[in-house]
Structure 1
Amino acid sequence: MAGSRPRASRAFPAATPRRRRWRCSRSRHDEPTPRRRVRRGAPVAAARFTLDDRGPDGVDGWASGFDRRELRALRRGAVEPELEVDLHGLVRADARRALRALLREAVETGARCVLVVHGRGNRSEAGPVLRASLADWLAEEPHGPRVLAFAAAADRRGGATYVLLRRRRRS
Protein backbone atom coordinates (compact mmCIF):
# COMPACT_ATOMS: atom_id res chain seq x y z
CA MET A 1 0.00 0.00 0.00
CA ALA A 2 1.22 3.41 -0.87
CA GLY A 3 2.11 5.69 2.06
CA SER A 4 1.90 3.01 4.74
CA ARG A 5 4.75 1.83 6.92
CA PRO A 6 5.51 -1.70 7.98
CA ARG A 7 4.47 -2.73 11.48
CA ALA A 8 7.06 -2.32 14.17
CA SER A 9 7.29 -6.03 14.88
CA ARG A 10 8.35 -6.76 11.30
CA ALA A 11 10.76 -3.84 11.09
CA PHE A 12 12.68 -4.79 14.28
CA PRO A 13 12.82 -8.53 14.74
CA ALA A 14 13.07 -9.98 18.26
CA ALA A 15 14.70 -7.14 20.16
CA THR A 16 15.82 -8.16 23.63
CA PRO A 17 15.77 -5.57 26.40
CA ARG A 18 19.14 -4.64 27.88
CA ARG A 19 19.73 -5.32 31.53
CA ARG A 20 19.53 -2.17 33.62
CA ARG A 21 22.55 -1.24 35.64
CA TRP A 22 21.88 0.77 38.75
CA ARG A 23 24.57 3.12 39.86
CA CYS A 24 24.68 5.04 43.05
CA SER A 25 26.05 8.54 42.70
CA ARG A 26 27.51 8.57 46.19
CA SER A 27 28.61 6.03 48.71
CA ARG A 28 26.16 5.13 51.46
CA HIS A 29 28.92 5.87 53.98
CA ASP A 30 29.27 9.50 52.92
CA GLU A 31 28.16 11.86 55.65
CA PRO A 32 26.51 15.11 54.66
CA THR A 33 28.21 18.26 55.81
CA PRO A 34 26.71 19.96 58.88
CA ARG A 35 25.24 22.70 56.67
CA ARG A 36 23.46 20.16 54.44
CA ARG A 37 22.37 18.21 57.51
CA VAL A 38 20.64 21.28 58.97
CA ARG A 39 19.07 22.21 55.64
CA ARG A 40 17.65 18.73 55.09
CA GLY A 41 17.08 18.08 58.76
CA ALA A 42 19.11 15.44 60.51
CA PRO A 43 17.12 12.24 60.87
CA VAL A 44 17.55 11.85 64.60
CA ALA A 45 18.85 15.18 65.84
CA ALA A 46 16.23 17.36 64.13
CA ALA A 47 13.45 15.41 65.81
CA ARG A 48 14.87 16.00 69.28
CA PHE A 49 16.70 19.34 68.99
CA THR A 50 16.35 22.71 67.34
CA LEU A 51 19.49 22.98 65.23
CA ASP A 52 21.43 26.12 64.36
CA ASP A 53 24.13 25.97 61.69
CA ARG A 54 27.03 28.23 62.62
CA GLY A 55 28.91 27.62 59.37
CA PRO A 56 32.50 26.42 59.79
CA ASP A 57 32.19 26.56 63.58
CA GLY A 58 29.73 23.67 63.66
CA VAL A 59 26.16 23.04 64.64
CA ASP A 60 24.48 24.02 67.90
CA GLY A 61 21.36 22.31 69.18
CA TRP A 62 18.98 22.66 72.08
CA ALA A 63 15.89 20.91 73.40
CA SER A 64 12.54 22.66 73.55
CA GLY A 65 12.16 25.06 76.44
CA PHE A 66 15.90 25.70 76.73
CA ASP A 67 16.93 29.30 77.46
CA ARG A 68 19.06 30.67 74.60
CA ARG A 69 21.04 32.84 77.06
CA GLU A 70 22.38 29.65 78.60
CA LEU A 71 23.42 28.51 75.12
CA ARG A 72 25.47 31.70 74.66
CA ALA A 73 27.11 31.11 78.04
CA LEU A 74 27.85 27.53 77.02
CA ARG A 75 29.46 28.72 73.75
CA ARG A 76 31.63 31.22 75.63
CA GLY A 77 32.85 28.52 78.00
CA ALA A 78 31.26 30.09 81.08
CA VAL A 79 30.15 26.61 82.19
CA GLU A 80 33.17 24.57 83.21
CA PRO A 81 33.08 20.97 81.89
CA GLU A 82 33.26 18.29 84.54
CA LEU A 83 34.22 15.45 82.20
CA GLU A 84 36.05 15.37 78.89
CA VAL A 85 36.68 12.88 76.08
CA ASP A 86 39.17 13.22 73.24
CA LEU A 87 38.05 11.53 70.02
CA HIS A 88 41.11 12.51 67.92
CA GLY A 89 42.35 9.68 65.74
CA LEU A 90 39.38 7.39 66.39
CA VAL A 91 37.30 5.90 63.61
CA ARG A 92 33.61 6.72 63.63
CA ALA A 93 32.46 3.52 65.39
CA ASP A 94 35.07 3.82 68.16
CA ALA A 95 34.31 7.52 68.62
CA ARG A 96 30.61 6.73 69.00
CA ARG A 97 31.35 4.11 71.67
CA ALA A 98 33.64 6.53 73.53
CA LEU A 99 30.95 9.22 73.48
CA ARG A 100 28.32 6.82 74.80
CA ALA A 101 30.70 5.75 77.59
CA LEU A 102 31.29 9.41 78.49
CA LEU A 103 27.56 10.13 78.63
CA ARG A 104 26.97 7.02 80.74
CA GLU A 105 29.68 8.12 83.18
CA ALA A 106 28.26 11.66 83.26
CA VAL A 107 24.80 10.35 84.14
CA GLU A 108 26.21 8.07 86.86
CA THR A 109 28.34 10.80 88.45
CA GLY A 110 25.76 13.56 88.04
CA ALA A 111 27.98 15.71 85.80
CA ARG A 112 26.12 18.59 84.19
CA CYS A 113 28.56 19.70 81.46
CA VAL A 114 30.94 17.59 79.39
CA LEU A 115 33.44 18.50 76.68
CA VAL A 116 33.75 16.39 73.54
CA VAL A 117 36.99 17.10 71.65
CA HIS A 118 36.48 15.91 68.08
CA GLY A 119 39.04 18.01 66.23
CA ARG A 120 38.58 20.41 63.37
CA GLY A 121 38.88 17.83 60.62
CA ASN A 122 41.62 19.69 58.75
CA ARG A 123 43.54 16.55 57.81
CA SER A 124 40.51 14.60 56.58
CA GLU A 125 39.61 14.74 52.90
CA ALA A 126 35.92 14.40 53.78
CA GLY A 127 36.07 17.30 56.23
CA PRO A 128 35.13 17.07 59.90
CA VAL A 129 33.68 13.54 59.99
CA LEU A 130 33.18 13.23 63.74
CA ARG A 131 31.75 16.73 64.18
CA ALA A 132 29.20 16.03 61.42
CA SER A 133 27.98 12.90 63.23
CA LEU A 134 27.99 14.31 66.75
CA ALA A 135 24.46 15.82 66.72
CA ASP A 136 22.90 12.49 65.72
CA TRP A 137 24.91 10.58 68.32
CA LEU A 138 23.83 12.96 71.07
CA ALA A 139 20.18 12.47 70.13
CA GLU A 140 20.28 8.67 70.23
CA GLU A 141 18.82 6.54 72.99
CA PRO A 142 19.40 5.89 75.85
CA HIS A 143 21.16 9.19 76.65
CA GLY A 144 19.41 11.44 74.11
CA PRO A 145 16.64 12.53 76.48
CA ARG A 146 19.30 13.56 79.04
CA VAL A 147 21.00 16.00 76.60
CA LEU A 148 19.68 19.52 77.06
CA ALA A 149 21.92 21.40 74.63
CA PHE A 150 25.23 21.29 72.77
CA ALA A 151 27.34 24.08 71.33
CA ALA A 152 30.61 24.40 69.47
CA ALA A 153 33.32 25.56 71.86
CA ALA A 154 35.50 28.61 71.36
CA ASP A 155 38.51 28.25 69.06
CA ARG A 156 40.88 28.05 72.00
CA ARG A 157 39.44 24.60 72.75
CA GLY A 158 40.54 23.37 69.30
CA GLY A 159 37.56 21.69 67.65
CA ALA A 160 35.38 20.76 70.58
CA THR A 161 31.72 20.77 71.56
CA TYR A 162 30.20 21.47 74.97
CA VAL A 163 27.31 19.19 75.94
CA LEU A 164 24.93 20.28 78.68
CA LEU A 165 22.95 17.53 80.40
CA ARG A 166 19.68 17.77 82.29
CA ARG A 167 19.84 17.79 86.05
CA ARG A 168 19.11 14.49 87.64
CA ARG A 169 15.66 14.33 89.21
CA ARG A 170 15.64 13.69 92.91
CA SER A 171 13.72 10.62 93.91
Structure 2
Amino acid sequence: MKKALLILIALISIEAIAQQRMERPDRKEMAQNMSALTPEESAELQTKRMTLRLDLNQSQQQEIYKINLENANKRKDMMTARKAKRASGDMERPSKEELLKMTNERLDHQIATKAKMKLLLDAEQYTKWEKGQSEMTNGFKKGMKNKKRFSQDRTSLNKKRF
Protein backbone atom coordinates (compact mmCIF):
# COMPACT_ATOMS: atom_id res chain seq x y z
CA MET A 1 0.00 0.00 0.00
CA LYS A 2 2.83 2.37 0.90
CA LYS A 3 4.58 1.60 -2.40
CA ALA A 4 1.41 2.33 -4.37
CA LEU A 5 1.00 5.62 -2.51
CA LEU A 6 4.64 6.60 -3.22
CA ILE A 7 4.24 5.75 -6.89
CA LEU A 8 1.03 7.79 -7.05
CA ILE A 9 2.70 10.80 -5.41
CA ALA A 10 5.67 10.51 -7.79
CA LEU A 11 3.40 10.40 -10.83
CA ILE A 12 1.38 13.39 -9.66
CA SER A 13 4.52 15.45 -8.99
CA ILE A 14 5.99 14.55 -12.38
CA GLU A 15 2.73 15.52 -14.04
CA ALA A 16 2.66 18.84 -12.19
CA ILE A 17 6.21 19.63 -13.26
CA ALA A 18 5.51 18.66 -16.86
CA GLN A 19 2.46 20.92 -17.04
CA GLN A 20 4.22 24.09 -15.93
CA ARG A 21 3.78 26.71 -18.58
CA MET A 22 6.71 28.10 -20.44
CA GLU A 23 6.92 31.82 -20.02
CA ARG A 24 5.95 33.71 -23.16
CA PRO A 25 6.85 37.30 -23.91
CA ASP A 26 4.27 39.92 -23.09
CA ARG A 27 1.92 40.94 -25.93
CA LYS A 28 2.87 44.59 -25.55
CA GLU A 29 6.54 43.67 -25.86
CA MET A 30 5.83 41.68 -29.01
CA ALA A 31 3.82 44.56 -30.48
CA GLN A 32 6.64 47.00 -29.76
CA ASN A 33 9.14 44.69 -31.41
CA MET A 34 6.92 44.35 -34.47
CA SER A 35 6.35 48.11 -34.70
CA ALA A 36 10.13 48.63 -34.60
CA LEU A 37 10.43 46.85 -37.96
CA THR A 38 10.88 48.93 -41.08
CA PRO A 39 8.07 48.75 -43.66
CA GLU A 40 10.37 46.71 -45.93
CA GLU A 41 11.05 44.15 -43.20
CA SER A 42 7.38 43.96 -42.30
CA ALA A 43 6.36 43.48 -45.94
CA GLU A 44 9.01 40.81 -46.43
CA LEU A 45 7.85 38.86 -43.37
CA GLN A 46 4.21 39.07 -44.38
CA THR A 47 5.04 37.97 -47.93
CA LYS A 48 6.98 34.98 -46.62
CA ARG A 49 4.07 33.99 -44.36
CA MET A 50 1.70 34.23 -47.32
CA THR A 51 4.11 32.22 -49.47
CA LEU A 52 4.08 29.43 -46.92
CA ARG A 53 0.32 29.52 -46.44
CA LEU A 54 -0.72 29.97 -50.08
CA ASP A 55 2.19 28.29 -51.92
CA LEU A 56 2.96 31.36 -54.07
CA ASN A 57 5.20 31.24 -57.11
CA GLN A 58 8.03 33.75 -57.66
CA SER A 59 6.06 36.28 -59.72
CA GLN A 60 3.18 36.20 -57.25
CA GLN A 61 5.64 36.78 -54.41
CA GLN A 62 7.04 39.88 -56.10
CA GLU A 63 3.62 41.38 -56.77
CA ILE A 64 2.32 40.61 -53.30
CA TYR A 65 5.50 42.06 -51.79
CA LYS A 66 4.67 45.35 -53.55
CA ILE A 67 1.14 45.31 -52.11
CA ASN A 68 2.42 44.44 -48.63
CA LEU A 69 5.07 47.18 -48.84
CA GLU A 70 2.44 49.73 -49.81
CA ASN A 71 0.26 48.63 -46.89
CA ALA A 72 3.19 48.67 -44.46
CA ASN A 73 4.20 52.18 -45.51
CA LYS A 74 0.63 53.40 -45.08
CA ARG A 75 0.39 51.74 -41.66
CA LYS A 76 3.74 53.25 -40.57
CA ASP A 77 2.63 56.73 -41.69
CA MET A 78 -0.62 56.39 -39.75
CA MET A 79 1.26 55.24 -36.64
CA THR A 80 3.71 58.15 -36.75
CA ALA A 81 0.85 60.62 -37.27
CA ARG A 82 -1.03 59.13 -34.31
CA LYS A 83 2.08 59.24 -32.10
CA ALA A 84 2.75 62.86 -33.07
CA LYS A 85 -0.84 63.78 -32.31
CA ARG A 86 -0.68 62.01 -28.95
CA ALA A 87 2.65 63.68 -28.08
CA SER A 88 1.30 67.15 -28.90
CA GLY A 89 -1.68 66.59 -26.62
CA ASP A 90 -4.24 67.11 -29.42
CA MET A 91 -5.58 63.59 -29.09
CA GLU A 92 -9.36 63.81 -29.25
CA ARG A 93 -12.07 61.45 -30.27
CA PRO A 94 -12.89 61.87 -33.94
CA SER A 95 -16.18 63.51 -34.83
CA LYS A 96 -18.94 61.50 -36.46
CA GLU A 97 -17.96 62.84 -39.92
CA GLU A 98 -14.27 62.05 -39.38
CA LEU A 99 -15.13 58.57 -38.19
CA LEU A 100 -17.31 58.00 -41.25
CA LYS A 101 -14.54 59.28 -43.53
CA MET A 102 -11.91 57.03 -41.91
CA THR A 103 -14.19 54.00 -42.10
CA ASN A 104 -14.94 54.64 -45.78
CA GLU A 105 -11.23 55.02 -46.56
CA ARG A 106 -10.43 51.78 -44.72
CA LEU A 107 -13.18 49.86 -46.50
CA ASP A 108 -12.17 51.30 -49.90
CA HIS A 109 -8.61 50.17 -49.23
CA GLN A 110 -9.81 46.68 -48.27
CA ILE A 111 -11.90 46.45 -51.45
CA ALA A 112 -8.94 47.54 -53.59
CA THR A 113 -6.64 45.02 -51.89
CA LYS A 114 -9.20 42.27 -52.37
CA ALA A 115 -9.47 43.08 -56.08
CA LYS A 116 -5.67 43.04 -56.47
CA MET A 117 -5.46 39.68 -54.71
CA LYS A 118 -8.19 38.24 -56.89
CA LEU A 119 -6.14 39.15 -59.96
CA LEU A 120 -2.88 37.75 -58.57
CA LEU A 121 -4.01 34.51 -56.96
CA ASP A 122 -5.61 31.47 -58.52
CA ALA A 123 -9.00 30.26 -57.28
CA GLU A 124 -7.70 27.89 -54.59
CA GLN A 125 -5.16 30.40 -53.27
CA TYR A 126 -7.77 33.14 -53.23
CA THR A 127 -10.23 31.07 -51.20
CA LYS A 128 -7.45 30.26 -48.69
CA TRP A 129 -6.53 33.95 -48.49
CA GLU A 130 -10.15 34.99 -47.98
CA LYS A 131 -10.61 32.36 -45.28
CA GLY A 132 -7.50 33.64 -43.50
CA GLN A 133 -8.77 37.22 -43.71
CA SER A 134 -12.13 36.29 -42.22
CA GLU A 135 -10.43 34.29 -39.46
CA MET A 136 -8.27 37.29 -38.59
CA THR A 137 -11.30 39.56 -38.50
CA ASN A 138 -13.28 37.10 -36.39
CA GLY A 139 -10.33 36.59 -34.07
CA PHE A 140 -9.96 40.34 -33.61
CA LYS A 141 -13.67 40.74 -32.92
CA LYS A 142 -13.59 37.85 -30.47
CA GLY A 143 -10.58 39.35 -28.72
CA MET A 144 -12.29 42.71 -28.43
CA LYS A 145 -15.43 41.04 -27.11
CA ASN A 146 -13.40 39.19 -24.47
CA LYS A 147 -11.55 42.39 -23.60
CA LYS A 148 -14.84 44.22 -23.06
CA ARG A 149 -16.23 41.38 -21.01
CA PHE A 150 -13.06 41.21 -18.92
CA SER A 151 -13.13 44.93 -18.19
CA GLN A 152 -16.83 44.70 -17.29
CA ASP A 153 -16.11 41.78 -14.96
CA ARG A 154 -13.34 43.77 -13.25
CA THR A 155 -15.63 46.78 -12.91
CA SER A 156 -18.35 44.69 -11.29
CA LEU A 157 -15.79 43.13 -8.94
CA ASN A 158 -14.52 46.55 -7.93
CA LYS A 159 -18.08 47.69 -7.24
CA LYS A 160 -18.71 44.66 -5.04
CA ARG A 161 -15.59 45.37 -2.98
CA PHE A 162 -16.75 48.83 -1.94
TM-score class normalised by the smaller sequence? under 0.3
Query: Normalized per residue, which structure has more helix?
Result: 2
Asked which structure has the greater CA Rg, the reply is 1
Relative to the length of structure 1, the TM-score reads 0.23
Query: Normalized per residue, which structure has more strand?
Result: 1
Higher relative contact order (CA 8 A, sep 6+): 1
